[in-house]
Amino acid sequence: MENIKDNSVFISGKPFMKYVTAGVLKLNKGDIIIKARGKWITRAVDVAEVIRNSFVKEAKISGIKIGSQEVSDEKRKTRISTIELTMAKE
């Protein structure tokens, strides 16, 4: 998830429909990558499904990439799961 591109939608704590709207607008210009980590992974999947089932019927998930990142604070290092969902129009 190190590569930051204009076609990326990063999922976090904002209202759900903001991500859906951003995804739909970017998908109209080309492929998009929905990125999330940790507890936001389920929201990323939900955003992709709402885009695909409700707004852009010809959209498909063309790739799924999972991984983890090491995050450290003052006391310890932990690993956080990551996901990248690539969507494209058919």
- What is the tens place of the pLDDT at every residue in 20-39? 999 999 999 999 999 999 99
Structure tokens at 55: 């707004």
User: What's the whole-model pTM score?
Assistant: 0.90
CB atoms within 10 A of CB 77: 8
- What is the tens place of the pLDDT at every residue in 62-86? 999 999 999 998 889 999 999 999 9
- The CATH code for residues 8-89 is 3.30.110.20
CA distance 44 to 78: 22
Q: Which helix (H) or strand (E) holds 42?
A: helix 41-50
The residues spanned by each domain of the chain are 8-89
Q: What is the pLDDT of residue 1?
A: 46
- What is the tens place of the pLDDT at every residue in 54-64? 999 999 999 99
Burial class (CB in 10 A: 0-12, 13-18, 19+), 79: exposed
Q: What is the pLDDT of residue 5?
A: 65
